[in-house]
Amino acid sequence: MNSDSRIYVAGHRGLVGSAIVRRLQADGAANLILRTHHELDLVDQAAVEAFFAIEQPEYVFLAAAKVGGIHANSTYPAEFIHDNLAIQTNVIHSAWKHGTKKLLFLGSSCIYPRDCPQPIKEEYLLTGPLEQTNEWYAVAKIAGLKMCQAYHRQYGFDAIVAMPTNLYGPGDNYHPDNSHVVPALIRRIHDAKITATPRVTIWGSGTPLREFLHVEDLADAALFLMQYYNDEHPVNVGSGQEVSIAELAGAIADAVNYEGELVFDTSRPDGTPRKRLNIDRLDSLGWRARIALKPGLEQTINAFALTTS
């Protein structure tokens, strides 16, 4: 892949897609192919087929998906399974059919079994029951991973799979209910600070552990894998930085200088108790995350504050 390569970033306005575009542009990519959801609905098979027949991208970063946090996943199961199966099936098939050289598919740490040994190795996939709050999304993602492996085996299609841990960073989804925990708490605690609200509610018990990776590290890993990795086995992409939700909430409150009370609403689900990734495979390839959680949160909060000021 070089600066003249025809590179399609599906989902380029999202958290991951926008970070990949920023990184490619910083590296001098001069031939990016981008379409908004409105311009190209990836659920529409005929539209996707026509797009690939005309544009014939050489490289595809598949960062388009129906994505949301624990509440969204358990509230809209039909949309999560339908849209993600359709998007990935359409893009992977048409990319192969129209000669794409390489495609990167994004799985997720949340598709591993709920209670597998920690840290989670790639080979633990499909060895146990899924976390119920996002099983529909997980089944769709597992199907996408298997489709990449099948096209690799039968057609020799260079489709690779990255398995990111929980991501955060600029350009995230800050919807009050459907977002992930980091943007949700940044927005809620930031707003509480501005309105001098005395307490902020955190969903669940605060005890679950989560590993967080800054999205610019993920973008770096995505380009690294696109350049150097072409095996059918998925590759975990993590930071090794694990905190409890209570510690995360405290870190965001400190960064925002919020001095009110953090209260835990145990009527809300905790989800998976823990899901830290084993990153030996990626480490052995020579890649490591660089952005530590504290400065990463501060950078993300500053970017959020700028967009709301």
Ligand X SMILES: NC(=O)C1=CN([C@@H]2O[C@H](COP(=O)(O)OP(=O)(O)OC[C@H]3O[C@@H](n4cnc5c(N)ncnc54)[C@H](OP(=O)(O)O)[C@@H]3O)[C@@H](O)[C@H]2O)C=CC1
Ligand Y SMILES: C[C@H]1O[C@H](OP(=O)(O)OP(=O)(O)OC[C@H]2O[C@@H](n3cnc4c(=O)[nH]c(N)nc43)[C@H](O)[C@@H]2O)[C@@H](O)[C@@H](O)C1=O
- Return residues touching ligand Y (CB under 6 A): 67-71, 73, 108, 110, 134, 166, 179-181, 184-185, 202-204, 208, 210, 245, 268-272
> Which residues have C-beta within 8 Å of that of residue 155, sequence separation ≥ 6?
96
Binding of residue 45 to ligand X (CB under 6 A): no
Q: Is 48 in the site for ligand X (CB under 6 A)?
A: no
Site for ligand X in 87-146 (CB under 6 A): 87, 106, 108
Q: Which residues contact 160 (CB under 8 A, 6 or more apart)?
A: 102, 103, 104, 105, 148, 225, 226, 229, 230, 231, 232, 235
The CA distance from 53 to 282, in Å, is 34
- Which listed option, ligand Y, ligand X, none, makes contact with residue 63 (CB within 5 to 8 Å by class)? ligand X
The closest alpha carbon to 238, from 163, 126, 185, belongs to 163
221 binding partner (options ligand X, ligand Y, none; Cβ < 5 to 8 Å by kind)? none
Give the one entry of ligand X, ligand Y, none that residue 223 binds, where binding means its C-beta sits below a cut-off of 5 to 8 angstroms depending on kind.
Answer: none
Write out the catalytic residue numbers. Answer: 137
Distance CA 248, CA 97 (A): 44
The residue sitting closest to ligand Y, measured at its beta carbon, is: 69
3-state helix, strand, coil in the chain (%, to 5): 45, 15, 40
User: Which tokens hold the place of 304?
Assistant: 């959020």
Q: How far is the CB of 18 from ligand X (least distance, A)?
A: 8
Measured between alpha carbons, how far is residue 262 from residues 45, 74, 170, 194, 200 in Å? Answer: 46, 24, 24, 16, 5
Q: How far is CA 99 from CA 56, 103, 158, in A?
A: 7, 11, 10
17 binds, among ligand Y, ligand X, none (CB under 5 to 8 A by kind): ligand X
Rounded to a whole number of angstroms, the minimum distance from the CB of residue 178 to ligand Y is 8
Residue nearest to ligand X (CB): 14
* String marking each residue 152-181 x if it binds ligand X according to CB under 6 A: ------------x-xx-----x------x-
Residue 66 corresponds to which tokens in the numbers above? 């129906």
Nearer to ligand Y, 94 or 236 (CB): 236
β partners of residue 8 = 33, 60
- Residues 128 and 115: beta-carbon distance below 8 Å: yes
Residue 83 makes contact with ligand X by CB under 6 A: yes
Q: How far is the CB of 99 from ligand Y (least distance, A)?
A: 30
Minimum distance from residue 30 beta carbon to ligand Y (Å): 32
SS3 272: coil
Q: Does 41 participate in binding ligand X (rule CB under 6 A)?
A: yes
Q: Work out what residue 202 binds among ligand X, ligand Y, none; the CB cut-off runs from 5 to 8 Å by kind.
A: ligand Y
Structure tokens at 134: 């996002």
Residue 195 C-beta: closest distance to ligand X, Å: 26
Site for ligand X in 180-239 (CB under 6 A): 180
> Applying CB under 6 A, does 71 fall inside the site for ligand X?
no
Residues that bind ligand X (CB under 6 A): 11, 13-17, 37, 41-43, 63-67, 83, 87, 106, 108, 164, 166-167, 173, 180
